[in-house]
Structure 1
Amino acid sequence: MRRFAPLFACLALGACIDADVTLDFSDGETVQTTAELSLSRQLYDMMGKKAENACPGGESSLTKSAYHCTMHDQREIAVVLDEGGKVSGKSELDPTEAASIERIDDNHLRVSFDFTEMLKSNGQKPDDLGGMEDMVRAAMAGHSLSFNVTGYKITSSTGVISEDGKTASRVIPVIALLDQAPELGEPFVTEVQLAQSCFLWVFCD
């Protein structure tokens, strides 16, 4: 996530970006990561050669108006924890870099997205949009960065928990990044149960 700095260089031109990131712990043994990114063609072109590495091992497409990338990854939870719990990104625009996991007990994990650290590493935002701020904000309206955590059961979250209790989500409007002191709220922290737990083989949750 820290590598979204190219976004800020393009704000004055109304370039837009959307991201949807899901960390899926449903099988109880692995974390399956899916990151879907959509960039305006303008932003893609401004990245130059860096864009060549924007979707390593993923599926990408380029049209006259947009660049799309979908990346999938799967790692054993035990391996991620042994390596410090960091769900590291692979590319210039991989938004999973904001994520980390830690074990609570044998059947529960805590998943965190620290947006404060993301902003510290994003570089400088433009101080002056040349009188185009209203136009830029209008162009960026409706674009967002979406983060999701899925598992057998979400036991608590600072995000929004789905009706079935299996997914927690946090959505950040891209337009919020235009503010000189962006307020993205508290870290997105979710506790997830990895598998069914039973007492005396009868009482299960």
Structure 2
Amino acid sequence: MRKPFSFFPLILALPLAACFDVELSLDFPGEDRAEATMIMVATPDFYAMTTSTGEDFCEGEESMRENGDHVCTETKSGTVDEIMSDPDFGDGMIIERRDGGLIYVAFDLGDISDDIAPPEEEGGDEMIAMMREAFEGHAITLRVSGDEIVETNGTISEDGTTAVYEIPLSLALDGGASLPETFNVLLNPGR
């Protein structure tokens, strides 16, 4: 099974199989501290698919909702250097220190269109119609927070402390063409 936070490439390759939601939150509560939380909510079908090989669904805290959805929560915290040097943290993300005590975070979204594009095959239109209905309302949400968001290509919260980028799973059906190369955030960490 994947190690904590190495899920990012996995979630980009799985949307065609079943429905789920993922939220990755990366918080910088201090100049040299980072806290990451990944919450994955899997429908019963997705849960059954991921556990059919006998592997665990979750390496963190697992719970089940009344509707049968399975929730996996994984957390990691440490210094910025510890987070970035940990091979389990995952591919597709950069954290850099910038002048003035700022921190730059970038999630690579460039390969998503290749990873999540639906297969081209006979009967594909019917499959895409079914998938569009199943994907409706499901997303991958990336959140980065600190004391102040200086710049981002995402959406800034009203209090100016969090940048959010939501990737609807329905983008898989459109080849992900509307995504930027990266979701990036320049921020002042907490003090």
Confirm or deny a common fold (TM above 0.5).
yes
Deviation of the 1:106 alpha carbon: 5.4
1:76 alignment partner in structure 2: 79
1:195–1:87 Cα change, 3 Å:
farther
1:72–1:87 Cα change, 3 Å:
same
Structure 2: any 5+ residue segments left out of the alignment?
Answer: 1-7
AA at the equivalent of 2:34: V
Deviation of the 1:183 alpha carbon: 2.9
AA at the equivalent of 2:93: A
Determine if the alignment matches structure 1 residue 164 to structure 2 residue 171: no
TM-score, with structure 1 as normaliser = 0.76
AA at the equivalent of 1:2: P
Matched residue SS, 2:132: helix
Determine if the alignment matches structure 1 residue 116 to structure 2 residue 110: yes
Task: Write out per-residue CA displacement over residues 135-188 of structure 1, whole angstroms, 9 at most, x where no aligned residue.
Answer: 321221111111011001111111111121111111111110122454322411
Q: Are the aligned partners of 2:117 and 2:175 in contact in 1 as well (CA < 8 Å)? A: no
TM-score, with structure 2 as normaliser = 0.81
User: How many aligned residue pairs are there?
Assistant: 179
C-alpha distance in 2, partners of 1:169/1:29?
Answer: 22
The one of 10, 35, 38 equivalent to 1:3 is: 10
Q: Give the alignment of 1:76-155 within 5 angstroms.
A: 76-80=79-83, 83=85, 88-89=89-90, 97-105=91-99, 107-120=101-114, 122=115, 125-128=118-121, 129=124, 131-155=126-150
C-alpha distance in 1, partners of 2:54/2:104?
Answer: 33
Task: Write out per-residue CA displacement over residues 92-146 of structure 1, whole angstroms, 9 at most, x where no aligned residue.
Answer: xxxxx432201112511100011114555x3774224461322321221111111
AA at the equivalent of 1:29: D
C-alpha distance in 1, partners of 2:55/2:99?
Answer: 40
Matched residue SS, 2:53: helix
Give the structure with higher Rg (CA): 1
C-alpha distance in 1, partners of 2:88/2:149?
Answer: 19
Q: Are the aligned partners of 1:18 and 1:37 in contact in 2 as well (CA < 8 Å)? A: yes
